Structure 1
Amino acid sequence: MKRVSQLTALALAFGLACASSRAADTIQALNFQQLQQAHGTAIDTRPSAFYNGWPQTLNGPSGHEPAALNLSASWLDDMNDKQIADWVKQHQLNAGTPVALYGSEREVQAVEARLRRAGLTQLTTLSDALQEPTRLQRLPHFEQLVYPRWLHNLQQGRHVTAAPAGKWRVLEAGWGAPKLYLLSHIPGADYIDTNEVESEPLWNKVSDAQLKVMLEKHGIRHDTTVILYGRDVYAAARVAQIMLYAGVKDVRLLDGGWRSWSDAKLPVERGTPAKVQPEPDFGVTIPARPQLMLNIEQARALLHRQDASLVSIRSWPEFIGTTSGYSYIKPKGEIAGARWGHAGSDSTHMEDFHNPDGTMRSADDITAMWKTWNIRADQQVSFYCGTGWRASETFMYARAMGWPNISVYDGGWYEWSSDSNNPVVSGERGPESSL
């Protein structure tokens, strides 16, 4: 019998499987090499934490298969058929695309069923998924976005991957009085009001001296690991980014915020936080990382450059000047020369950066979104929004993605628009407007 090439055998496998088992409408399982030869796509059906790099077991494989997409089975209840179809279209999949799924049997079956309803037919499993650690990909700093079970295990004193090096603290961040916190919060979490890190008239960060007092009051030194979460992820991110600027070495976010903890049905407690033992000294001069927070002149210097991007993390209606986005900000428009980094439907949403469960969208998706507007990892990149919250969330994602030269322009649109001499632009426009 003649020998046939692997590619020919693969084609025969596809053809025979589709012809002989139409009732099951399935094809033979593929290994990673075969999937590549067939120009197919792998889909990771596990939660995004494991896709990003957290091992499912203490010494298990870390990351996802190269170029794999993430469509977690845990998202399916939050996605209607149109949203699944839009996801398929966005990732340029079609009925003839070979697609190999991996994850648990239950996860794979659930995702497969929804993809078939969306019109994909060449669905199978990846037979050697996660079996070759050296080829797996992960977020360069996945540990900066923790997930609920990891935090729970840490609290229980169990061994965890990427454990804090020393003392650690959990804080819930929110604006104003801790009304929801008092009803239910993560056990042992302290509460920090965002008014402790930013103030009127422009909602810029408070002085360095005030930051020092605040951090010491909350029992935080520069070498304390701080794990932040919020009812709104960007509230926690705002505090996190300012702490990093101040000099806290290890600041992490609970990916997906309070919702992710609640969805995981982990223990909660109510009432006021336990009394915190203040630290006598933060331990380093604040700011230890001044480069993470830009002023207006530093932000202006990034405009219209190929090696830098001043990035607007605002909704499209805000970016084109249909609305200011805020009741207390009257001027509409955008910084002339800024690049659009996406955000969400309005000034209180960040859907463009979130999976259906509120966790961070895949780094590949975010990178592709930014590339359209000439925003790249090899540039000096500074994010801004109206007053810093959305920009800080994006900063934390870019940090987890390993972008090396990032910052937040603290004043944002509020500060820029308060001076009529600053150049402003409105109306529909594309990436070329920032060149």
Structure 2
Amino acid sequence: MKIFVALISAALSLLAIEPIVTSQWLNEHKNDVNLRIIEVSEGDLFGLEHIPNAAHTSIGKWRFDNGTFLSIRNVAEIEKEISSLGIDEKTDVVLYAPINEAKDVLKTSYIYWALNYHGIKNVALLDGGLKAWKNGKLELSQAEPIIKPTAFKALIDKNKIADIGYVQSKLGKLPMIDARPSDMYLGVTSTPTVKRSGHIRGGMSYSWNYSVDKEYNLKPKAMLESVFKEGYGLDKNKEVLVYCTGGLETSFNYFVLSGVLGYKNVRLYDASMKEWGNREDTPMTQYRYEMFKK
């Protein structure tokens, strides 16, 4: 009997967490041994109130300014942060933020991507963030959790990231999606910190916020399926590259495509337009929408 129970437990542990979870689900599972809840916030917000058992991180622990644009930190630094949060490759992770502005949501999706990139696969976002939790009148805490660090070693998935050389080599060969607002994609509005206006030649426009409602709850999965399959002609088994201004906005498109919709090969161009649009030798298009032609 004990062996049977152990086998059932082992089988259940292999089931991946859903990529988007509700406050009700999280409340029911917040004490699960294999679950780590992570708040992504700045300043003193975490100390004022957070979801019980949640640990804390900030986006600065995952990204650094290299003088031209922000980039993912080196592997050793990311391993240290993941380990300090009590996470390893077997952990289920739920990320959330107190959403005071759009960028707060994007910080959680960027860390979602960063965890995937470093070998953590069972990751989810809390639909609607802390506001949804509070709207449900669920328990809040000020207690600092006691976390046992892990000895995590990254298993880098190089298929999750693209550099400028890779993007240049794939122009016209695979679909690329720009997550910025459409006016910045078109180049009728300049993008702050980017010298040249427009988009990567051949790139398609899909602003990341099209996937959420005004409360930052994810729109219906069936609608999102139709958008990318019927509207953009994407194939779940073929590669797609996503980019934006500097990595944050496009991480939400990565989350929707790779996580929610199950696209097999989504690459994120981390440096995005802060690199591409500040050079003179990179092909760009302005004032028109483009669609990828196979």
Q: TM-score range by the shorter chain?
A: 0.7 to 0.9
The equivalent of 1:236 in structure 2 is 108
The equivalent of 2:133 in structure 1 is 261
TM-score (norm 2): 0.83
Change (3 A) 1:330 1:260: farther
The equivalent of 1:186 in structure 2 is 51
The equivalent of 1:319 in structure 2 is 185
Kindly indicate whether residue 56 of structure 2 is the aligned counterpart of residue 199 of structure 1. no
Q: How does 1:272-351 map to 2 (within 5 A)?
A: 273-279=144-150, 281-282=151-152, 284-287=153-156, 289-305=157-173, 308-326=174-192, 328-343=193-208, 350=209
Give CA deviations for 1:312-336 in whole Å, capped at 9, x if unaligned.
111101101123443x334322111
TM-score (norm 1): 0.58
The equivalent of 1:64 in structure 2 is none
- Could you say what secondary structure the match of 1:277 adopts? coil
- Pick the aligned partner of 1:401 from 247, 261, 275: 261
Give the Cα separation in 1 of the matches to 2:250 and 2:289.
Answer: 21
Give CA deviations for 1:6-52 in whole Å, capped at 9, x if unaligned.
xxxxxxxxxxxxxxxxxxxxxxxxxxxxxxxxxxxxxxxxxxxxxxx
Give the Cα separation in 2 of the matches to 1:409 and 1:301.
Answer: 13
- Could you say what secondary structure the match of 2:175 adopts? strand
- Could you say what secondary structure the match of 2:289 adopts? coil
Give CA deviations for 1:400-426 in whole Å, capped at 9, x if unaligned.
212112121111111211221111121
Give CA deviations for 1:182-222 in whole Å, capped at 9, x if unaligned.
22221121111111111113111111121112211222222
Q: How does 1:115-194 map to 2 (within 5 A)?
A: 143-156=18-31, 167-174=34-41, 177-194=42-59
Give the Cα separation in 2 of the matches to 1:263 and 1:302.
Answer: 45
The equivalent of 1:355 in structure 2 is 213
Give the Cα separation in 1 of the matches to 2:60 and 2:83.
Answer: 16
- Could you say what secondary structure the match of 1:337 adopts? coil
Compute the displacement of 1:142 (Å).
7.7
Give the Cα separation in 1 of the matches to 2:235 and 2:86.
Answer: 37
- Pick the aligned partner of 1:423 from 279, 283, 289: 283
Q: Between the two proteins, what is the percent identity of the paired residues?
A: 21
Amino acid at match of 2:274: Y
How many correspondences in the alignment?
270
Give the Cα separation in 1 of the matches to 2:17 and 2:76.
Answer: 32
The equivalent of 1:218 in structure 2 is 85
- Could you say what secondary structure the match of 1:204 adopts? strand
- Could you say what secondary structure the match of 2:241 adopts? strand
Change (3 A) 1:182 1:325: farther
Change (3 A) 1:192 1:324: farther
- Could you say what secondary structure the match of 1:419 adopts? coil
- Could you say what secondary structure the match of 1:143 adopts? coil
Change (3 A) 1:250 1:156: closer
Gaps of 5+ in 2: 1-15
After superposition, the CA RMSD in angstroms is 2.2
Verify the 8 A CA contact 1:374 1:431 in the aligned structure 2: no
Give the Cα separation in 2 of the matches to 1:144 and 1:186.
Answer: 19
Give the Cα separation in 2 of the matches to 1:325 and 1:182.
Answer: 35
Compute the displacement of 1:278 (Å).
2.0
- Could you say what secondary structure the match of 2:250 adopts? helix
- Pick the aligned partner of 1:412 from 254, 259, 272: 272
Greater length-normalized contact order (CA 8 Å, ≥ 6 residues apart): 2
Give the Cα separation in 1 of the matches to 2:65 and 2:247.
Answer: 13
Change (3 A) 1:242 1:222: same
Give the Cα separation in 1 of the matches to 2:290 and 2:123.
Answer: 35
Verify the 8 A CA contact 1:302 1:310 in the aligned structure 2: no
Max Rg structure: 1
Give the Cα separation in 1 of the matches to 2:73 and 2:63.
Answer: 5
Give CA deviations for 1:150-188 in whole Å, capped at 9, x if unaligned.
11111256xxxxxxxx622111113xx333222222112
Change (3 A) 1:374 1:303: farther
Amino acid at match of 2:27: H
Amino acid at match of 2:145: A
Compute the displacement of 1:392 (Å).
1.3
Q: How does 1:83-98 map to 2 (within 5 A)?
A: none
Amino acid at match of 2:86: G
Gaps of 5+ in 1: 1-140, 158-165, 344-349
Q: How does 1:364-383 map to 2 (within 5 A)?
A: 364-370=222-228, 371-383=230-242
Give the Cα separation in 2 of the matches to 1:151 and 1:261.
Answer: 9
Give the Cα separation in 2 of the matches to 1:266 and 1:185.
Answer: 11
Amino acid at match of 2:178: S
Verify the 8 A CA contact 1:373 1:431 in the aligned structure 2: yes
Give the Cα separation in 2 of the matches to 1:406 and 1:263.
Answer: 34
